[in-house]
Amino acid sequence: MLKYNIRGENIEVTEPIRNYVEKKIDKLERYFTEVPDANVHVNLKVYSDKNAKVEVTIPLPNLVLRAEETSGDLYASIDLIADKLERQIRKHKTKVNRKMRDKGAQQDFFAFGEISESAPDENESDLEIVRTKQFDLKPMDSEEAVLQMNLLGHSFYVYTDAESDGTNIVYRRKDGKYGLIETN
């Protein structure tokens, strides 16, 4: 059973908006053999330029479905989100079902009836690793790592933190700012 947590930033979540979100996301239930117990986190945001951003996250037992979309029409963004989530399910269905069977699950997580069987084979080549690199991690601080990342023209950089001796990652966010991932 899907439970919804819908919140809005700079917008009041009215009953018609809530019903529209639930109607669109509930259509995804047809792809599961059993309707999972999941909390659907929906964040609706309206910017000063009248663009609407919709973010949906659905944590499931074997994967996390997540999509976001920004457009001038809130309802169009919700439609696009539902399409994105459906494509994610189609792409990952075979892989997740195979892993579940390998772990001894009695049945498949995703239903097969609604989805063509030929599509996942085509997408599996997308997951093929085509290049492997090895390099030594140089101890440095996060500022130096960002500089190195920019010098290389990459969107992320892996390094050893000089203080904690842990492996960290700096990355460029969509908004142009930087993020830091620290490992334990």
Q: Are residues 18 and 62 in the same domain?
A: yes
Q: Give the per-residue pLDDT at 106.
A: 54
Q: Which domain holds residue 148?
A: 139-182
> pLDDT band for position 117 (50/70/90)?
very low
Give mean pLDDT, residues 129-137: 81
Region of poorest pLDDT, from 11-20, 116-125, 145-154, 173-182: 116-125
Q: Are residues 123 and 160 in the same domain?
A: no
Q: Are residues 32 and 85 in the same domain?
A: yes
Does residue 60 surpass a pLDDT of 90?
Answer: no
Q: Are residues 99 and 74 in the same domain?
A: yes
Contact in structure between 64 and 89 (CB atoms under 8 Å): no
Does residue 105 surpass a pLDDT of 50?
Answer: yes
Give mean pLDDT, residues 116-139: 65
Q: Which residue has the higher pLDDT, 98 or 89?
A: 89
> pLDDT band for position 115 (50/70/90)?
very low
Q: Give the per-residue pLDDT at 103.
A: 65
The count of domains in the chain is 2
Contact in structure between 181 and 171 (CB atoms under 8 Å): yes
State the pTM of this model.
0.56
Token representation of residue 135: 């390099």
> pLDDT band for position 170 (50/70/90)?
very high
Does residue 122 surpass a pLDDT of 50?
Answer: no
Question: Is 100 part of any domain?
Answer: yes
CATH number assigned to the domain comprising residue 168:
3.30.505.50
- The secondary structure element, H or E, covering residue 170 is strand 167-172
- Edge-to-edge strand list for the sheet holding 2-9: 2-9, 38-46, 52-59, 64-71
Q: Give the per-residue pLDDT at 114.
A: 42
